[in-house]
Amino acid sequence: MSEPNSFFKGIIKSVFSVFLTQTKISKIERLTKDFVLIELTGRKLKESKWIPGGKVQVDVGNLTYRTFTPIHVDKVEGKLSFICYQHHNGPASKWINDLKVGDPCEVFGPRDSLDFSNLEGDAILFGDETSFGIAKVLQDKVEKESHIFFELTSADAAKKALDPLGVTGQRMIERSPDGSHLPKLSQEIVDRISQTPDAKVFLTGRASSIQQVRNYLKNSGIPTNKLKVRVYWADGKVGLD
């Protein structure tokens, strides 16, 4: 990092330090080659106002923040845990690889994103590997039944990560090079909505996939105001929700 960039980042960090929560890494559990469960501990987490489905932004080095979904917040002990997916060699992947128990960690949040605190009835979730955390929270909080649809690079690898989290009953379909898996999965979501018309519907994960699924649902007569969308990543972009 150049000296001017370092200087300006230092100023920004000083200004926003009042909003940051100081924590330490208290647990690192590698579920698979690509999925890691991380636990943070910090006194200020005891005062956090976490809404299930919310997000936390973690400084993965040099004021570079990445967003994760807390799967558990213990306000009594001051602990927060989330699952990370290492899908490229960016700053977050390097941070995870270098991480050790006891390392300091600055976080922004927890903050609002999706809200699962008062879910009634069934819920439907579309996502991918970056949606495992939100799927865990949804399944824990939904009043009736959660119906989870994943597009994945490897269903076997995903299952090895989801089983320890207790996420069950999900529909997995592996990505096809031509994208033909998405219309198939979208039709299955439409069929599920027809069986549970009052279910809440959440679309998460990759921007382009969400757009295709959303368009398919719209063309199938599903009102767009019925859908809650959270884009977790997009090709060529970083730092999304």
**What's the pLDDT at 8?**
43
Alpha-carbon distance values, 178 to 12, 24, 89, 175, 181 (Å): 43, 43, 25, 8, 8
CA distance 57 to 70: 10
The token pair that represents 214 in the structure block: 């959303």
pLDDT confidence bin for 9, thresholds 50/70/90: very low
Query: What residues does CATH 3.40.50.80 cover in the chain?
Result: 123-233
CA 234 to chain centre: 14
**Span 136-158, average pLDDT:** 93
**pLDDT tens sequence across 148-159:** 999 999 999 999
54 token code pair: 């919310």
What is the structure's pLDDT at 7? Answer: 45
Return the higher-pLDDT residue of 163 and 120. Answer: 163
CB 138 within 8 A of CB 222: no
Domain boundaries 123-233, corresponding CATH code: 3.40.50.80
Of 83, 176, 182, nearest in space to 135 by CA: 83
Q: Per CATH, which fold does 6-111 belong to? A: Elongation Factor Tu (Ef-tu); domain 3 (2.40.30)
Q: pLDDT tens digits, residue range 170-213?
A: 999 999 999 899 999 999 999 999 999 999 999 999 999 999 99
For tokens 């959440």, the residue is 202
Q: Which residue in the block uniquely carries the two structure tokens 């106002």?
A: 49
Q: What pLDDT, on a 0 to 100 scale, did the predictor assign at position 15?
A: 40
CA 241 – CA 232 distance, rounded (Å) = 5
**pLDDT at 16 exceeding the cut of 50:** no
Question: Where does the chain hold its CATH 2.40.30.10 domain(s)?
Answer: 6-111
Write down the pLDDT at residue 62: 80
pLDDT digits (tens, 9 = 90+) for 97-116: 999 999 999 999 899 999 99
Distance CA 114, CA 136 (A): 13
Is the pTM above the cut of 0.95? no
72-105 pLDDT, tens digit per residue, is 999 999 999 999 998 777 888 999 999 999 999 9
